[in-house]
Structure 1
Amino acid sequence: MVVEEAERHPGAVIEVFATDEHRIGLKPILRRVWAPCGERPVARGHHRFEWLYVTAFVSPATGESFWYLATGVDKALFEDTLRLFAREAGAGRDRIIILVLDGAGWHTAPLEVPEGIRLVFLPPYTPELQPAETLWVHVDEPIVNRHIDTLEDLDAIVADRCVSLAANRNLIRSQAGFHWWPDRVAPN
């Protein structure tokens, strides 16, 4: 697919990105922690069912990433997010982005796809092939074993985390850079 696009668009940079969504909310994310022998660790939590959705667009080859937060997911919102990503990433005639994604209902046709973006769908039930899926552990890090009072507080914490992840290309590349993922193709 990278070779096809390079032949179709000589002189353009061809890059393969991956995208996925992650739902986080006011229901606590619990992980194991060390505690002194004979003592039980305490993690405060109050189960509530209000959610945020984090959408990541990631280039495993370069570590470049784009992060978006929303209060829901649907086809119209995904189209808007895809347009925003294409604009911010500079997709167009000079940069073609092959976007690998799963078959979630809001990803399927009919879908308005911006110029410079080509969609490639993963086979069903294969999250292990999705590099963006590996990044959620880093997104969750600042909220693990914590009680968050409001969705606004959660939004602020996760937004800060996404900004720091976008700046840390080495972390993104080391976490999501599968050895078999295609490299970026730049014109000679």
Structure 2
Amino acid sequence: MASAVQLRTDYSASDLRRLAAASKHANQSRRLLSLAAVLDGMDRAEAARIGGMDRQTLRDWVHRFNALGPDGLRDIRPKGHPPRLSKAQLAELAEIVETGPDRRVHGVVRWRRLDLRKVVADRFGVAYHERTIGKILKAIGFSHISARPRHPGQDPKVMEDFKKNFLRTLNAHVGHLSKGRRIEVWFQDEARIGQKNGIVRQWARRGTRPRQPADQRYDNAWLFGAICPARGVGAALTLPYIGTEAMQMHLDEISTMVARGSHAVLLLDRAGWHTTRMLTVPKNITLIFLPSRSPELNPVEQIWQYLRSNFLSNSVFETYADIVDAACEAWRSLTENPETITSIGSSQWAHIGHS
């Protein structure tokens, strides 16, 4: 029978119990208590049971303790396989993903895991399963998300210049106002709400494919909406048509929502019914037109997305009146939560400090 392995003598039983009490590792604590019992002279089989182990396992931990001290009693975490792609290769992969595929070269217009699997194999000589490619993408900061539309004729420089020079543009439009007049920044847009409605993502059990009603009819109304993010307020009309007359009614409605003694600058796109000289702009509103083909500068676009996702999609409207009711109820739900308007609509470049 093998003789008992002697414990190192630079720790007392009291020292080991104190270390066990302070340890954040449960397994290390119970091993320390077993060794403390050994130092107190307890039979090793009994001491092993204190730590929930047999005598041979206790002997192994005694060897670890003698060699490494209390730290040697912690669990050994397997390190797993070393990464097969270096940090430089992962950075290159991230750049490939961000740049996107070339349809003429790669044959696709968006990266799929199976496409990137081939790219990784061809460029780095490493073969991964598609699921592993997905895990790698998440590890380097990517998510599988929907892209936002962008007009092909859009000029990013024009958009950046507009944001950079917004305060100068603002002053040029309202410089005639009396000093100290409060200025409110508003944004305006229109959205079609109709029977041909969208279907949005929803939570469902994995492996199932939920169904939602999809109407094939085309009756619709127009929701004219405007928001002032700084105040968390909005003004909207649901109308059966779009055009100059409808826009005039909306301007008049916005005018009633501007705070008393304030002046509103209304940012909007260059639709024909916005720019026509047939409009009579209320005295407490000044129009500022956004650059062409730049819906990203108008946060009302995100308001539409919010309303469709939360109140209008996955629905069937039997009549025009149902469409109007749904649009009005969605807008009321929005305006009942001013913080939502502020959260969605606030743009750092359009913040003027005293709105």
Using the size of structure 2 for normalisation, the TM-score is 0.49
2:227 is aligned to 58
CA distance in 2, matches of 1:114, 1:22: 23
Query: Is structure 2 residue 219 aligned with structure 1 residue 18?
Result: no
2:273 is aligned to 106
| 2:222 partner letter | Y
Does structure 2 conserve the Cα–Cα contact (< 8 Å) formed by 1:26 and 1:148?
yes
Q: 1:108 to 1:167 in 2, by over 3 A?
A: same
Query: Is structure 2 residue 297 aligned with structure 1 residue 129?
Result: yes
Does structure 2 conserve the Cα–Cα contact (< 8 Å) formed by 1:60 and 1:181?
no
Query: Is structure 2 residue 347 aligned with structure 1 residue 178?
Result: yes
Equivalent position to 1:27, from 187, 196, 204? 196
Does structure 1 conserve the Cα–Cα contact (< 8 Å) formed by 2:213 and 2:314?
yes
Equivalent position to 2:208, from 39, 60, 80? 39
CA distance in 2, matches of 1:46, 1:106: 30
Q: 1:106 to 1:184 in 2, by over 3 A?
A: farther
| 2:276 partner letter | A
Cα distance, 1:20 vs structure 2: 0.5
Equivalent position to 2:284, from 104, 107, 116? 116
CA distance in 2, matches of 1:143, 1:19: 20
Does structure 2 conserve the Cα–Cα contact (< 8 Å) formed by 1:14 and 1:184?
no
1:142 is aligned to 311
CA distance in 1, matches of 2:244, 2:259: 22
Does structure 2 conserve the Cα–Cα contact (< 8 Å) formed by 1:61 and 1:183?
no
CA distance in 2, matches of 1:169, 1:121: 25
Cα distance, 1:139 vs structure 2: 1.9
Cα distance, 1:165 vs structure 2: 1.1
Cα distance, 1:61 vs structure 2: 2.3
| 2:263 partner letter | I
Q: 1:60 to 1:6 in 2, by over 3 A?
A: farther
- The farther-off stretch of 175-184 and 109-118 is 175-184
Q: 1:156 to 1:184 in 2, by over 3 A?
A: farther
Cα distance, 1:184 vs structure 2: 5.3
| 2:185 partner letter | V
Higher alpha-carbon Rg:
2
Query: Is structure 2 residue 332 aligned with structure 1 residue 160?
Result: no
| 2:324 partner letter | D
Hey, which of these two has a bigger chunk of strand by percent? 1
CA distance in 2, matches of 1:35, 1:80: 43
Cα distance, 1:144 vs structure 2: 1.4
Using the size of structure 1 for normalisation, the TM-score is 0.88
Does structure 2 conserve the Cα–Cα contact (< 8 Å) formed by 1:16 and 1:184?
no
Cα distance, 1:131 vs structure 2: 1.4
SS of 2:250's partner is helix
CA distance in 2, matches of 1:148, 1:36: 27
| 1:182 partner letter | H
CA distance in 2, matches of 1:172, 1:98: 17
- The farther-off stretch of 146-155 and 17-26 is 146-155
**CA offsets 1:118-173 (integer angstroms, 9 cap, x no match):** 11001110000001111012222222112221221121122122112112110011
- Structure 2: where are the runs of 5+ without partners? 1-168
Q: 1:59 to 1:44 in 2, by over 3 A?
A: same
Sequence identity (%): 28
| 1:113 partner letter | V
Cα distance, 1:78 vs structure 2: 0.6
CA distance in 2, matches of 1:160, 1:37: 32
CA distance in 2, matches of 1:137, 1:179: 20
Cα RMSD over matched residues? 1.9
